Structure 1
Amino acid sequence: MPEQNLSFVLEKANNVKFEDRPIPTLQSPHDVLVNVKFTGICGSDVHYWAHGEIGQFVVKEPMVLGHESSGIVTAVGDSVKTLKAGDRVCMEPGVPCRRCVRCKEGKYNLCPDMAFAATPPFDGTLAKYYNLPEDFCYKLPDEMSLEEGALVEPLSVGVHIVRQAAVKPGDNIVVFGAGPVGLLCCAVARAYGAAKIISVDMNEERLAFAKKYAATQTVVAQKESPQDAAARIVSTCDLGMGADAIIDATGAEPCIQTAIHALRVGGTYVQGGMGKSDINFPIMALCTKELNVKGSFRYGSGDYSTAVQLIASGRVSVKELITGKVKFKDAENAFHDVQAAKGIKTLIEGVEDAPALNGDSTAA
């Protein structure tokens, strides 16, 4: 018999399986049911798969992975007004409480009761069907593919980070890290009018891609002191007194230290990547330069719709980032590829109408 809702489930670190689960029911008249067609794999998904936890979020019960998805609406609640069955949508995977102070002030990404897909204890989107409120499903314009729709999630992260950096026309910015988020930050900064967009990474192959994709200049990271690294970036890229804004998409301590030294007086630093919980930080440079230092977490009000508009208008292209697609039954291969830093973004195709898959798969 065909499966009802085949799902890719993490039981514990290094142990995943395919499980046929019940089709979700609409929990509210404002909900929609989506047949998931494409799902990208994020570093957080891989971290849960490999370690079973991220900080305070620990996998204690089996959890469906995935949160970067697009699909086709198959059912809508009685109160849904903007979507109908057959509409193609991208899916914002975090639903806030809508009632707390953070939600009411428009920063729902900081909601303490956020239900975020594939973050314990909430199941993710790597399933045949997924249920979401209407306002967290965004109809894709006709010119956008479902594959592009799956990349709206990481692009929204980039939109949020660049907004935190307050990038404006004419700014010179540096982005540490040429992975998917770093590359998308470069692309959004270009769309926002940045004059110089410098990508810094140790991987020369990724830097070559960054230069073709959105960066105006690239710098190969080397083993040197943060002060020397900063001076080399500023001099090589002709940044004068320093960059107007710097984004770190790595979470690596040397990159963070270098960034603070490479900023101009009064510049803005945004932490987009996550690494060690505690690091050595150049606080003297922070104070004497009177820097604006900000964190960035997921995406907030307007970021998802902005990301859709950027792709639909052609101001940001995400097609080049898709370097591989795998069938649903080969989902674990995508996790191995991301862990090995193969390609930029791998997509897992939706469940085909085929006999249910059974059995465990244990990572090497």
Structure 2
Amino acid sequence: METTSADAHDPDAHEPGTPPPGGARALVIDKPGTHRLVSGPRPSPGPGEVRIAVHAAGICASDREVYDGTRAAGYVRYPVTPGHEWAGTVDAVGEGVDPALVGRKTVAEGFRACLRCGRCREGETSLCESGYDETGFTRPGAFADALVIPARLLHPLSDDADLSAAALLEPAAVVAAAVLAGGPLPGDRVAVVGAGTLGLLAVQMLAAYSPGELVAVDPRVRRAEQGLGMGATRAVTPTEAAGEAGRYDLVVETAGAPSTADDACLLARRGGRVVLTGMFEPGARGIDPVHLAVSQLTVRSVFGAPSSAWSHAVRAFDAGVIDPAPLITHELPLTRFAEAIGLVGSGDPGVGKVLLRP
């Protein structure tokens, strides 16, 4: 990785890997497989904007796609500073923004919705018709010391919030969108397919709805069993789950594996609900249309989260309904990005959520 370094003859030189006085660092991916850590002036917020001192930013599979060059065309713009899962503190505000926000712990929505189109006016800001535009993919993200974003996207947190845990509120908002779409009812039999970050957050959130049964499904037994401490009543492998086809009122799919969309539909009872949350890659197995029609399933998909789901997730976090902290297994500095992105792509079942700490 190319990094800035201090000059021994420069009186303003700073320690390598740390931001210069009054400046800030940012991790930049110029093109797939190429990254560098740059230093420059600390950005200033413009009208309607705030500047965030980033506390922590999570790395997820979509960031790995950006680095590998496998993210779908139109959903990334190089060069880019990734980082769409983050938490931090407001340290400056632009013209027209309430100065009382300075010092507030916060997270923020990533989608830059237009707020004018038909979908936005219906409250479906993740379906904005003005085109895809998201922090960390088409706009500079939080793999940096500082981040400038529109103040309207903020979701302030309580003063005692754990900012490392709060960095997982972006995936929690996606899960909230899935749960709200699924409409869980007390006593429902519920299955969560996948026990990664999304899946275990889904288990926590669904447990609050008092399901009659809440099953975590994952071939990684250790990960599925982690759900038992988060509200799941059972942990099973996909092979074991296949023997329970047609059992569940609600199935929330979070894995994005080649077969899990079809698997989720097979687990649902006749007339049941299925929500697809995982990010599928080309070649994934499709849903059998005959089974879909005959079983009269309701199938929804989720990509990102509207403002309402963000509000739901933040309230659940502040109330202690969800606790993302146990999902974090690694926290590394920006200077160790190569190691961090390698962990995310390693397939090691012991790797959960990896955070970068500026």
Q: TM-score normalised by the shorter chain: which range applies?
A: 0.7 to 0.9
Aligned 1:226-265 pairs, distance under 5 A: 231-234=242-245, 242-265=247-270
Aligned 1:264-303 pairs, distance under 5 A: 264-277=269-282, 279-303=285-309
Moved more, 178-187 or 192-201: 192-201
Answering whether residue 198 of structure 2 is matched by residue 181 of structure 1, we say yes
Which residue of structure 1 lines up, in the alignment, with residue 63 of structure 2? 45
2:267 & 2:192 partners in 1: Cα distance?
A: 11
Which residue of structure 1 lines up, in the alignment, with residue 107 of structure 2? 90
Which residue of structure 2 lines up, in the alignment, with residue 348 of structure 1? 356
Which residue of structure 1 lines up, in the alignment, with residue 6 of structure 2? none
Answering whether residue 123 of structure 2 is matched by residue 118 of structure 1, we say no
Q: Alpha-carbon deviation of 1:141?
A: 0.6
1:280 alignment partner, SS class:
coil
1:147 alignment partner, SS class:
helix
Answering whether residue 331 of structure 2 is matched by residue 325 of structure 1, we say yes
Q: AA paired with 2:353?
A: K
Aligned 1:18-97 pairs, distance under 5 A: 18-28=37-47, 30-50=48-68, 52-57=69-74, 61-81=78-98, 83-97=100-114
2:99 & 2:119 partners in 1: Cα distance?
A: 26
Contact 1:219–1:233 (Cα < 8 Å) also in 2: no
Could you tell me the TM-score, scaled by structure 2's length?
0.88
Q: Alpha-carbon deviation of 1:140?
A: 1.5
1:259 & 1:145 partners in 2: Cα distance?
A: 34
Contact 2:75–2:132 (Cα < 8 Å) also in 1: no
Which residue of structure 1 lines up, in the alignment, with residue 174 of structure 2? 157
| Paired-residue identity, % | 28
Moved more, 133-142 or 147-156: 133-142
Q: Bigger relative contact order, structure 1 or 2, given CA contacts below 8 A and separation 6+?
A: 1
Answering whether residue 223 of structure 2 is matched by residue 193 of structure 1, we say no
Instruction: Give the direction of change, closer, same or farther, for the CA distance of 1:105–1:257 in structure 2 (3 Å limit).
Output: same
Q: Alpha-carbon deviation of 1:327?
A: 1.6
1:254 & 1:107 partners in 2: Cα distance?
A: 28
Which residue of structure 1 lines up, in the alignment, with residue 162 of structure 2? 145
Contact 1:41–1:346 (Cα < 8 Å) also in 2: yes
Q: Alpha-carbon deviation of 1:148?
A: 1.9
2:124 & 2:76 partners in 1: Cα distance?
A: 26
Q: AA paired with 1:282?
A: D
Contact 1:12–1:59 (Cα < 8 Å) also in 2: no
1:293 alignment partner, SS class:
strand
Contact 1:199–1:219 (Cα < 8 Å) also in 2: yes
2:186 & 2:257 partners in 1: Cα distance?
A: 28
Q: Alpha-carbon deviation of 1:231?
A: 4.9
Contact 1:9–1:18 (Cα < 8 Å) also in 2: yes
Deviations 1:59-82 (A, max 9, x none): 563110111111111111232238
1:138 alignment partner, SS class:
strand
Q: Alpha-carbon deviation of 1:126?
A: 1.0
Q: Alpha-carbon deviation of 1:256?
A: 2.1
Answering whether residue 343 of structure 2 is matched by residue 337 of structure 1, we say yes
Instruction: Give the direction of change, closer, same or farther, for the CA distance of 1:208–1:247 in structure 2 (3 Å limit).
Output: same
Return 5+ residue gaps in structure 1 as ranges.
223-228, 235-240, 351-364
1:296 & 1:217 partners in 2: Cα distance?
A: 25
2:40 & 2:76 partners in 1: Cα distance?
A: 18
Instruction: Give the direction of change, closer, same or farther, for the CA distance of 1:145–1:63 in structure 2 (3 Å limit).
Output: same
Contact 1:13–1:48 (Cα < 8 Å) also in 2: yes
Aligned residues: 335
1:116 alignment partner, SS class:
coil
Instruction: Give the direction of change, closer, same or farther, for the CA distance of 1:82–1:192 in structure 2 (3 Å limit).
Output: farther
Q: Alpha-carbon deviation of 1:273?
A: 0.7
1:94 alignment partner, SS class:
coil
Deviations 1:123-149 (A, max 9, x none): 211111111122212221123111122
2:58 & 2:187 partners in 1: Cα distance?
A: 33
2:54 alignment partner, SS class:
strand
Q: Alpha-carbon deviation of 1:270?
A: 0.9
1:329 alignment partner, SS class:
helix
Aligned 1:212-231 pairs, distance under 5 A: 212-222=229-239, 231=242
1:82 & 1:184 partners in 2: Cα distance?
A: 33
Which residue of structure 1 lines up, in the alignment, with residue 16 of structure 2? none
Instruction: Give the direction of change, closer, same or farther, for the CA distance of 1:231–1:53 in structure 2 (3 Å limit).
Output: closer
Q: Alpha-carbon deviation of 1:305?
A: 2.0
1:83 & 1:168 partners in 2: Cα distance?
A: 40
1:205 & 1:82 partners in 2: Cα distance?
A: 47
